[in-house]
Amino acid sequence: MVDLRRVGANPDFWYPVALSGSVRNKRVFATAFAGERIALYRGESGTVHALEDRCAHRQVPLSMGVVEGDTLRCGYHAWVYRGDGRLSKIPYLSKGDGRPPGGVRSYPVREAYGLVFVFPGDADKAAVTPLPELPAYGSAQYKTMTFSRTVRCHYSFMHENLLDMNHQFLHRGVLGKLHPELLGYQNGPRSVEARYLFTRAGGKRNPGAGLLAAEGIGGGDSSDVMTIRTEYPYQTLDLVPANAEQPSFRLWAAYVPEDAEQRTCHTYGLLMIEKPGIPGALHLTWPLIRRFAERVFAEDRTAVEAEQRAWEEQGEDRNHEVFPLILDVREVLRANGVPLRPQAAACGITQGSPASVPSAEQATPQ
């Protein structure tokens, strides 16, 4: 059986690679997907473009460049690129100097939920591949908290961590004593969904736990029901407190590999918290909620990064997993992923579908 930690994320999906606020007007932002360096820039029109972060001339990063109108000028020899990756002009090339080389790869881009998504796979599939649907985002009933953190582990460790709520002992200092009970789960070719019943068993109660726990605990003395779903390649969590009709909060997360061997991922999370009946109460407690969520996430990050280090030290996955739910989600991640090709990536061949390099155009002053 293929080691899951050697399976790459399937590029034929929309992946967030930046916060929208990080891609400022007329600025360039450097990001990456699985070893593919990407330059994002927001043109004068406000549209975000994504280009391969290498100039076709000397391979210098285009993220070192300058935005002019809706084009990007390389910061080295001032070659100019359009948003589709085509060369607009080479300043010192005259008509008699022949045709310039082709441009660079461009990526389909969409902005949604305060994030910039790119489609790093087969561009022809982008139009028929939907973005994730987040009905609570922007709803008057919810307020959204955004998280953006790099975690030094394979993305699969993140899926397992959130889906396996039996690790609550890790958070005993923050959440107190909690008893998770798996009510049941179901799976399909691309998904695994689990339902847990949480009850408090005593112990320390953090002041923020009554409003939020990144692991999904409502903080009351009665029982809360949590539903966690891996719908490849994303993950969601809904917490419904006892006697409530809708989730008190909803979490959406994506784990985006950064390096070619995918041993580091960038976690983007949207935590949509239901607004209480008291106007302004959520606004006042917002800093406390964020600190509380960050503490829980920090403990999770410590654990998954330790798992990654063990894998690297041993050179293979020696986990002795006994929880059927996690065994099943591993199969979903393995079946929907793609083989890693670190040697090819090191030689400049990127993962996924071959890049469609635009045809060359005559680069004359315009």
Q: What is the pLDDT, as a whole number, of residue 357?
A: 37
Going through the chain in order, the beta strands assigned E by DSSP cover 7-8, 15-19, 28-33, 36-42, 48-52, 66-68, 71-73, 80-81, 87-89, 106-107, 109-112, 115-118, 142-151, 177-187, 191-202, 224-231, 234-240, 249-257, 265-274, 338-339
Is the same domain home to 336 and 214? yes
Task: Classify residue 3: in a domain, yes or no.
Answer: no
Cβ 253 vs Cβ 162: under 8 Å: yes
Domain that holds residue 104: 14-128
**What letter would DSSP give residue 215?**
T
252 and 110 co-located in one domain:
no
| CA angle, residues 53, 350, 68, in degrees to nearest 5 | 15
231 and 336 fall within a common domain: yes
Same domain membership, residue 122 and residue 149: no
CATH number for the domain harbouring residue 170: 3.90.380.10
pLDDT tens track of the chain, all 366 residues?
A: 899 999 999 999 999 999 999 999 989 999 999 999 999 999 999 999 999 999 998 889 999 999 999 999 998 888 999 999 999 888 887 776 666 667 999 999 999 999 999 999 999 999 999 999 999 999 999 999 999 999 999 999 999 999 999 998 899 888 877 888 999 999 999 999 999 998 877 655 554 444 444 333 344 445 789 999 999 999 999 998 877 888 889 999 999 999 999 999 999 999 999 998 887 888 888 999 999 999 999 999 999 999 999 999 999 999 899 999 999 999 999 999 999 975 534 433 344 443 333 433 333 333
Same domain as 312, residue 165: yes
Instruction: Report pLDDT for 146.
Output: 97
> Domain check: are 95 and 186 in the same one?
no
Backbone torsions φ then ψ of 310, nearest 5 degrees: -65, -40
Whether the link from the prior residue into 130 is cis, omega within 30° of 0, is no
* 190 domain-assigned: yes
CB 308 within 8 A of CB 263: yes
Q: DSSP assignment, residue 157? A: H
- The single-letter code of the amino acid at 182 is L
Examine residue 182 and state whether it is found in any structural domain, yes or no: yes
Residues 218 and 112 in one domain: no
| 7, part of any domain | no
Q: Please check whether residues 112 and 174 belong to one and the same domain.
A: no
Q: Can you tell me whether residue 354 is helix, strand or coil?
A: coil
CB atoms within 10 A of CB 242: 14
Is the Cβ–Cβ distance between 212 and 289 less than 8 Å?
yes
User: Do residue 104 and residue 186 come from a single domain?
Assistant: no
Compute, in degrees rounded to 10, the torsion defined by CA atoms 220, 270, 263, 226. 30
CATH number at residue 118: 2.102.10.10
Residues β-bridged to residue 338: 8
Q: Angle, nearest 10°, between helix axes 324-336 and 155-163? A: 150
- What's the confidence (pLDDT) of residue 70? 95
CA distance 233 to 257: 11
223 inside domain: yes
Judgement on whether residues 166 and 199 belong to the same structural domain of the protein: yes
Structural domains counted in the chain? 2
In a domain, 91, yes or no: yes
In whole angstroms, give the CA distance from residue 51 to residue 305. Answer: 31
Residues 110 and 88 in one domain: yes
Q: Report in angstroms the alpha-carbon separations of 194 from 162, 225, 229, 296.
A: 11, 10, 6, 20
Q: Are 266 and 155 in contact (CB under 8 A)?
A: no
Q: For residues 199 and 214, what is the distance between their CA atoms, to the nearest angstrom? A: 16
Q: 214 and 289 share a domain?
A: yes
Inside any domain, residue 302: yes
> Residue 44 in 3-state DSSP?
coil
In a domain, 161, yes or no: yes
